[in-house]
């Protein structure tokens, strides 16, 4: 999702706020787990979106994405060369071998949850495609591992990039992770590339949505005519994983755990 302008101050969360964020993110995790089981040949992305919105409202939450800068759906569902912000459609029917990425956000009691996963429908079409999925997930957890007090933001970014580089995959630059709290997008931005030991010092109470997006080919991006869907410029495969993570004295706590 695109970010609203406003204060660039990093907002530290109290323990009770982190619990509120955990509650929101656990709704996200539960719904993503259900959607993952439903991603099968023949279902449309609109079907998946409809189910997601029903589940969100059943939990007493609201879709975070729907209406955000005019975005028309509860989920972003991106397929194959689509990186992020794919708009669900009745015309988009999932096929065997597709790489499907689902990004979901909710609002519960004024606090936001945000997470995403990618998966293949059936078997991956190639060893390289399978490696892309594995590398993106590995990059996510490498970044999360650096989300500790007294580390720097660049430590997260560089850890993600190092995994991508080790596999020879591209790291999308145009879209980045972000802080999350009472707004869907808060400071700081969390790039998926960078230099160790640079950037703001990480502090207890920061909550970050860490979300690597890797590509088989170029990391260059194009936006389709719908004004939202971001695709790889060379139309190579792309994968996307995301967790919302709290920085605590005991290390990183994944608030959206349970679905990947």
Q: Identify whether 5 is part of a domain.
A: no
Residue 9 lies in a domain: no
Q: Which residues of 183-201 are buried (b: 16+ CB within 10 A; e: fewer)?
A: bbbbbbbbbbbbebeebee
Tokens of 140: 């996510």
2-27 pLDDT per residue, tens: 544 445 799 999 999 999 999 999 99
How confident is the model over 34-73, as pLDDT tens digits? 999 999 999 999 999 999 999 999 999 999 999 999 999 9
Domain residues for 84? 15-254
- Please give the distance of CA 41 from its chain centroid, rounded to a whole number: 23
Determine, yes or no, domain membership for 1.
Answer: no
In this model, does residue 260 exceed pLDDT 90?
A: no
227 in a structural domain: yes
108, 61 contact by CB (below 8 A): yes
Nearest 5°: CA angle at 88, between 87 and 94? 125
The verdict on pTM exceeding 0.85 is yes
- Give me the residues paired with residue 207 across strands: 246
| Predicted local confidence at residue 2, as pLDDT | 53
Tokens 């792309």 map to which residue? 238
pLDDT tens digits for range 127-154: 999 999 999 999 999 999 999 999 999 9
Is 65 inside a domain boundary? yes
Q: Number of folded domains in the chain?
A: 1
| Residues 209, 28: Cα–Cα separation, whole Å | 13
Within a domain: 25: yes
Sheet containing 238-240, strands listed edge to edge, beginning at the edge strand earlier in sequence: 170-171, 213-215, 238-240
Is residue 46 in some structural domain? yes
CATH of the domain at 149: 3.90.230.10
Q: Please write the tens of the pLDDT for every residue from 196-224.
A: 999 999 999 999 999 999 999 999 999 99
For 166-178, what is each residue's pLDDT tens digit?
A: 999 999 999 999 9
Calculate helix-pair angle for 153-167, 127-144, nearest 10 degrees.
160
Is residue 23 in a domain? Answer: yes
Q: Which of 105, 77, 75 is nearest to 91 (CA)?
A: 77
């Amino acid at each position: 999702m695109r970010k609203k302008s406003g204060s660039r101050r990093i907002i530290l969360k109290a323990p009770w706020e982190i619990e509120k964020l955990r509650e929101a993110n656990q709704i996200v995790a539960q719904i993503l787990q259900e959607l993952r089981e439903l991603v099968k040949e023949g279902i449309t992305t609109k079907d998946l979106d409809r189910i997601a919105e029903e589940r969100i409202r059943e939990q007493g939450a609201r879709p975070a994405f729907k209406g955000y800068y005019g975005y028309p759906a509860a989920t972003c569902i991106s397929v194959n060369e689509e990186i992020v912000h794919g708009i669900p459609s009745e015309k988009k029917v999932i096929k065997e071998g597709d790489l499907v990425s689902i990004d979901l956000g909710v609002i519960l009691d004024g606090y936001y949850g945000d997470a995403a996963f990618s998966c293949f429908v059936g078997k991956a079409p190639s060893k390289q495609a399978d490696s892309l999925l594995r590398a993106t997930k590995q990059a996510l957890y490498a970044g999360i591992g650096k989300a500790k007090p007294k580390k720097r933001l660049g430590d997260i970014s560089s850890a993600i990039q190092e995994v991508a580089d080790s596999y020879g995959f591209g790291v999308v630059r145009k879209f980045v992770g972000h802080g999350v709290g009472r707004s869907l997008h808060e400071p700081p931005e969390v790039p998926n590339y960078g230099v160790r030991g640079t950037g703001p010092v990480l502090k207890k109470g920061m909550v970050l949505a860490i979300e690597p997006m890797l590509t088989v080919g170029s990391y260059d991006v194009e936006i389709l005519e719908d004004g939202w869907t971001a695709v790889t410029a060379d139309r190579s495969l792309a994968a996307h994983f995301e967790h919302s993570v709290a920085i605590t004295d005991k290390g990183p706590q994944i608030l959206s755990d349970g679905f990947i």
